[in-house]
């Protein structure tokens, strides 16, 4: 299997979304996010989502032409009314707003309401960290995870991500967790491969624990009440704060529309201390951790995001490795929209 | 065993700390926090900590006379230099600063550096929620939990708490999680009771998983890399941001002093929408969740903090229930400092 050129996979992905009605700048943004995830070694959030995003457009859940609007709430805060814009389009706007406000106010908060699948949340945190800011981003969506004690979907697998600039010469520190034991992408992957799920990750339709991906009907929160409570709070800090709740309308059957809300916080490190001093402290911690005795079978201590940064570095040179199934899907898309398929890495 | 009067247990606890050198207002604040935790049914963070706080004072880790200072960083942010003040003294100041800034800027951020054990983090979130704000509070301390892959303490069991005002007539929603599978308090409790630890909660001194509380040498993060990464990020967002790191000096043996740093965020809900509309959405979600089918053996769906609020309500009327061991400890303290012991509930 040939590895694909990162640039050309991005070009192709953007053309698909332009064909589906997006402006070039918006399509480029969505493509950049998806290919970023593939390059970081997270194919569940990569171009494998193209089909699903096209479905959202077809169903009207995603408005390819939408222009998200910023409503300022004082110098340090804003809301982005996404009007069903693609997640990356609304989120990148929110990141810019949060960073811009952090520059003068030390902190910037942006609440995003009414967007669609935002994809890999680490991407937004990484963008903010690249500006010399600390980032916190979280997202609430439609129910796909049990709340503590329920045996049906009640909350979303709300991801929580944080990032800070890295030590000099090292990648930025990018942490990204789902509030579920395993994410939706991993469940889908297990369904395809037939591999068992880890214990405690899912319930079947009768509410019994299962490791059979086919039988899995609802994901379980990490740490029980911890992940469940986290997901619930993120809904309240986004949907309830913005007057655009997602969970209760879905639970009560009043909505079946795909939707996401998000919270974006940027903190300008230079407002607190020189950025280089901060980076030096990140480096000291990294060094201290790397000197510690390891658990059996563990080869090294990794900082959050380090594996993804290494993967991205390698794939920048060697091209993106995708599964045979994904290559076939891309070929089909190229045919369907009469586009030049993504080129292999030269 | 008699239940103790909440008010008189607070009076007694405050007198102990005044005897140890604290000003009355500061001692009252520490006492209020500890008794709050006991009343909420979290004795691991209640008056059982008095002895440890006195040790901190004796060792010089806690300066009973310290006056924390606020350094303003623009209208939306501030730092609190705690100068080794008791955690509750520095944290309550940080909460006031964060809320005050949120009133005019929609969001207020306060970084606390150089304080000591802050106790139950939910308390601070609850204070902020009582002001009609959403709250996010997190704390980093000395290493007591493994980082992903290490078999010795590398990060702290950094708690993350969030709260929002509750539906009309209902308690506020107060969520509080540790980044470890079980907290330090629960480990101590298991050591006293001889009960086994849950699997996956701890390693012994050779890095092997253990459920034997006596053999447990290091706590494990919830969800592996999730809890570990969360704890690491909180250190970076507090200690590294404030220029007051805790983990690397401890790991490298350059410090053995007990210390904590914290992050306090308040968001004024009324800056985004009417508080009553927000409360109504909290109520809708609560109602929707309560109608969902339950897992076997589960009797009800609870909102975060609901159990604690019920416990506090009951103990307000019936007095605080403490263990026999705790009663004995309080009697010893009364004798040691020649204080009137806490009175039973009338």
Copy the structure tokens of residue A210: 């299962």
Q: What is the ipTM of this complex?
A: 0.97
Copy the structure tokens of residue B328: 């004995």
Cβ distance of B272 and A73 shorter than 8 Å: yes
Beta strands A153-155 and A145-146: pairing type? antiparallel
pLDDT in tens, chain A (346 residues): 679 999 999 999 999 999 999 999 999 999 999 999 999 999 999 999 999 999 999 999 999 999 999 999 999 999 999 999 999 999 999 999 999 999 999 999 999 999 999 999 999 999 999 999 999 999 999 999 999 999 999 999 999 999 999 999 999 999 999 999 999 888 988 998 889 999 999 999 999 999 999 999 999 999 999 999 999 999 999 999 999 999 999 999 999 999 999 999 999 999 999 999 999 999 999 999 999 999 999 999 999 999 999 999 999 999 999 999 899 999 999 999 999 999 998 8
Beta strands B173-177 and B160-164: pairing type? antiparallel
When CB atoms are compared, the residue of A233, A278, A281 closest to B175 is A233
Burial (CB count within 10 angstroms: exposed 0-12, middle 13-18, buried 19+), residue B238: buried
Which letter does DSSP use for residue A292 in this model?
S
Cβ distance of A296 and B233 shorter than 8 Å: no
Dihedral over Cα of B177, B178, B181, B185: its sign: negative
What is d(CA A21, CA A109) in angstroms, rounded to the nearest whole number? 31
pLDDT tens by residue, B74-83: 999 999 999 9
Cβ distance of A107 and B107 shorter than 8 Å: yes
Q: Within chain B, how many helices (H) and strands (E) appear? A: 12, 12
Shortest distance between the Cα of B59 and any Cα of chain A, in A, equals 26
Q: Going by C-beta distance under 8 Å and a sequence separation of 6 or more, which residues neighbour residue B337?
A: B15, B16, B19
Task: Suggest the residue from A146, A166, A202, A248 to mutate for an interface test with chain B (most B CBs closer than 10 A).
Answer: A248
Cβ distance of A104 and B74 shorter than 8 Å: yes
Question: In whole angstroms, how large is the CA radius of gyration of chain A?
Answer: 20
Long-range contacts (CB closer than 8 Å, 24 or more residues apart) made by A209-216: A213/A187, A216/A187
What is d(CA B241, CA B234) in angstroms, rounded to the nearest whole number? 10
Question: Contact at 8 Å (CB) between B145 and B220?
Answer: yes
Residue A241's nearest CA partner among A113, A68, A82 is A113
Residue ranges with strand state E in A149-300:
153-155, 160-164, 173-177, 202-203, 209-210, 218-219, 260-268
When CB atoms are compared, the residue of A76, A177, A273 closest to B243 is A273
What is d(CA B249, CA A25) in angstroms, rounded to the nearest whole number? 47
Q: What is the DSSP string of B226-249?
A: HHHHHHHHHHIIIIIHHT---HHH
When CB atoms are compared, the residue of A245, A265, A294 closest to B284 is A245
Q: Going by C-beta distance under 8 Å and a sequence separation of 6 or more, which residues neighbour residue A165?
A: A129, A130, A132, A133, A172, A173, A269, A275, A278, A279, A282
Cβ distance of A230 and B177 shorter than 8 Å: yes
Residue B175's nearest CA partner among A131, A232, A25 is A232
When CB atoms are compared, the residue of B136, B150, B239 closest to A292 is B150
What is d(CA A129, CA A123) in angstroms, rounded to the nearest whole number? 10
Average pLDDT for B104-125: 98
Beta-carbon-side half-sphere exposure of residue B127 (alpha carbons within 13 Å): 22
Given the structure tokens 């879905």, which residue do they identify? A250
What is d(CA B241, CA B262) in angstroms, rounded to the nearest whole number? 10
Task: Specify the pTM.
Answer: 0.97
Start-to-end Cα distance in chain A: 13
């Amino acid at each position: 299997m040939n590895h694909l050129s990162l640039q050309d996979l991005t070009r192709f992905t953007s053309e698909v979304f332009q064909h589906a009605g997006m402006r070039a700048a918006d399509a480029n943004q969505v493509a950049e996010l998806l290919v970023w995830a593939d390059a970081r070694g997270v194919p569940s959030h990569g171009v494998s989502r193209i089909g699903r995003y096209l479905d959202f457009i077809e169903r009207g859940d995603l408005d390819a032409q939408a222009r998200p609007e910023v409503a300022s709430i004082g110098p340090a805060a804003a809301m982005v009314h996404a009007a069903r814009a693609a997640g990356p389009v609304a989120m990148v706007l929110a990141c810019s707003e949060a960073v811009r406000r952090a520059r003068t106010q030390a902190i910037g908060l942006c609440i995003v309401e009414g967007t669609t699948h935002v994809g890999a949340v680490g991407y937004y945190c990484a963008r903010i960290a690249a500006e010399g800011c600390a980032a916190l981003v979280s997202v609430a969506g439609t129910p796909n995870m049990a709340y503590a004690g329920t045996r049906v979907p009640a909350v979303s697998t709300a991801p929580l991500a944080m990032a800070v600039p890295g030590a000099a010469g090292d990648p930025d520190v990018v942490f990204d967790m789902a509030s579920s034991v395993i994410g939706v992408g991993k469940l889908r992957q297990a369904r395809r491969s037939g591999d068992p799920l880890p214990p405690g990750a899912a319930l079947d339709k009768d509410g019994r624990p299962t490791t059979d991906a086919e039988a899995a009907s609802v994901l379980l929160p990490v740490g029980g009440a911890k992940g469940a409570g986290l997901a619930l709070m993120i809904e309240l800090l986004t949907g309830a704060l913005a007057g655009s709740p997602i969970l209760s309308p879905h639970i009560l059957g009043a909505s079946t529309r795909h939707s996401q809300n998000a919270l974006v916080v940027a903190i300008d490190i230079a407002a607190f201390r020189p950025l280089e001093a901060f980076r030096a402290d990140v480096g000291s911690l990294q060094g201290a951790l790397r000197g510690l005795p390891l658990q059996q079978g563990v080869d090294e201590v990794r900082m959050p995001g380090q594996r993804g940064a290494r993967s991205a570095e390698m794939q920048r040179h060697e091209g993106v490795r995708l599964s045979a199934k994904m290559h076939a899907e891309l070929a089909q898309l190229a045919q369907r929209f009469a586009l030049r398929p993504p080129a292999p890495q030269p």
